């Protein structure tokens, strides 16, 4: 007798950046209803899905304390009412030193918070002479990688700019993560150049599913998000792509594919630490 497949219908909500809590919640709930109608068991949202604005190079999203955050509480209520699991890609939570935390949450089907992750790598970049971002000017960075155990699988949480640091995904995968979340508000410029290839690389390198909900459209205060939310299998194949419009993508994934991919190419086990030397390569010894 063969065992049943480990199937999961997972969805990405491709929201547009909203300037305040209520419009952000209304949009997320409207799209989440659509995801439920498509059979989604696990629903994911982009980075800063609770609202996003910029002022100069700094991120200035609307923020609140965790226990009274209207978007968090609204999506928790939705998850409980619909009996669905939810990844809140990230919202702005009041933090220390008059800064905010760019925090992601996993919510179970009873509306409980079962995992929190604070974005480690903050987006401090100069894309051109006229376009720069300093997330660290307003955001207090996290310092811990996070894996969430769910009834479906172990899931690794990351956010946006984390995507450029492959060691984070390696450590999550070597710790058992089978799904790697990459909620994002990737910029148009960097998205066009790097979004697809980096997400596919993280899936291929680690033999894991990558689920990457990304915001689409203009940000209040300047800039724009790239969209193209992605669901990618462990072989690096794109199962769904959100394109450049607000909407919902979903796919039924077979989590058994993770073990198959990691058996075919066992790079997680072959990974080695090594030193670096300068000059002539060392000679082999017998």
Averaged pLDDT, 243-259: 98
User: What pTM was estimated for this model as a whole?
Assistant: 0.94
pLDDT band at 219 (very low <50, low <70, confident <90, very high): very high
Q: At what angle do helices 21-37 and 70-82 cross, to 10 degrees?
A: 20
Q: What percent of the chain has pLDDT over 70?
A: 95
110 catalytic per annotation: no
146-187: pLDDT as tens digits: 999 999 999 999 999 999 999 999 999 999 999 999 999 999
**Would you say residue 1 lies in a domain?**
no
Q: Which of 41, 47, 135, 257 is catalytic?
A: 47
**Would you say residue 240 lies in a domain?**
yes
**Would you say residue 274 lies in a domain?**
no
Q: How many domains does the chain have?
A: 1
47 catalytic per annotation: yes
**Would you say residue 57 lies in a domain?**
yes
How many angstroms separate the first and last alpha carbons of the chain? 49
Q: Which of 12, 49, 160, 214 is catalytic?
A: 160
* Residue 1 CB neighbour total at 10 angstroms: 3
119 catalytic per annotation: yes
**Would you say residue 61 lies in a domain?**
yes
Q: What is the CATH number of the domain that holds 251?
A: 3.60.110.10
Return the minimum-mean-pLDDT range out of 58-67, 101-110, 167-176. Answer: 58-67
Range of the domain at 225: 7-268
**Would you say residue 12 lies in a domain?**
yes
pLDDT > 60? residue 2: no
Report the pLDDT value the prediction gives residue 1, as an integer from 0 to 100.
47
- What are the helix and strand counts (H, E) for the chain? 7, 19
């Amino acid at each position: 007798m063969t065992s049943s497949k480990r199937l999961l219908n997972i969805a990405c909500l491709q929201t547009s950046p909203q300037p305040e809590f209520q419009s952000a919640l209304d949009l997320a709930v409207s799209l989440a209803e659509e995801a439920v109608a498509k059979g989604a068991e696990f629903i994911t949202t982009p980075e800063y899905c609770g609202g996003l604005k910029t002022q100069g190079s700094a991120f200035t999203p609307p923020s609140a304390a965790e226990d009274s955050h209207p978007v968090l509480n609204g999506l928790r209520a939705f998850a409980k009412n619909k009996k669905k699991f939810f990844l809140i890609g990230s919202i702005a939570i009041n933090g220390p030193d008059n800064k905010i935390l760019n925090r992601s949450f996993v919510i179970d089907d009873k509306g409980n918070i079962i995992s929190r992750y604070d974005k480690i790598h903050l987006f401090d970049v100069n894309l051109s002479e006229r376009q720069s971002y300093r997330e660290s000017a307003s955001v207090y960075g996290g310092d811990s990688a996070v894996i969430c155990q769910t009834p479906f699988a172990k899931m690794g949480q990351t956010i946006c700019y984390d995507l450029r640091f492959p060691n984070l995904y390696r450590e999550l995968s070597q710790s058992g993560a089978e799904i790697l979340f990459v909620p994002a508000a990737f910029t148009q410029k960097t998205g066009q150049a790097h979004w697809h290839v980096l997400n596919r690389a993280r899936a291929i390198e680690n033999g894991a599913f990558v689920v990457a909900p990304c915001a689409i459209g203009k940000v209040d205060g300047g800039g724009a998000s790239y969209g193209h939310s992605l669901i990618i299998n462990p072989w690096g194949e794109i199962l769904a792509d959100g394109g450049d419009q607000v909407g919902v993508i979903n796919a039924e994934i077979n989590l058994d594919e993770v073990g198959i991919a990691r058996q075919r190419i066992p790079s997680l086990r072959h990974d080695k630490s090594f030193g670096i030397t300068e000059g002539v390569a060392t000679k082999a010894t017998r």
